[in-house]
Amino acid sequence: MEEKKCKNCMFYKKTIYSKGECFRYPPQLVLDPETGSANPARPMMEEDDFCGEFKSEKLIQEIGDLIMKAFSGDIGGEDGRSV
Ligand code: SF4
């Protein structure tokens, strides 16, 4: 089973070194205390970190592949019925 880590999550986009942005939710406004302006930002996560919203990118891909096979008739018994 795939390890529960941001780097294996479908919402993670690697940016630099061992860090990446989480796209699970829309950006949040973060106040810059120096300028007083609010700027949109996403959580910057370490690739080995995780949260309770983790969704395995590999599992989602496997499920998608199975659905595509089912619609194309690639799975099922010789009589065409599911096994
Ligand atoms: S595990 Fe959580 S914090 Fe990390 S990328 Fe996925 S949703 Fe974001």
| Domain positions in the chain | 6-72
Pocket of ligand 1 (CB under 6 A): 6, 9, 11-12, 22, 24, 45, 50-51, 53-54
pLDDT tens for each residue of 34-59: 999 999 999 999 999 999 999 999 99
Residue nearest to atom 8 of ligand 1 (CA): 22
Q: What is the pLDDT, as a whole number, of residue 2?
A: 83
Tokens of 11: 């919402």
Exposed, middle or buried, 7 (CB in 10 Å: 0-12/13-18/19+)? middle
Q: What is the pTM of this model?
A: 0.77
Calculate mean pLDDT across residues 63-70. Answer: 92
CA distances from 68 to 26, 29, 58, 75 (A): 29, 39, 15, 10
pLDDT score for 34: 95
| Chain mean pLDDT for the chain | 90
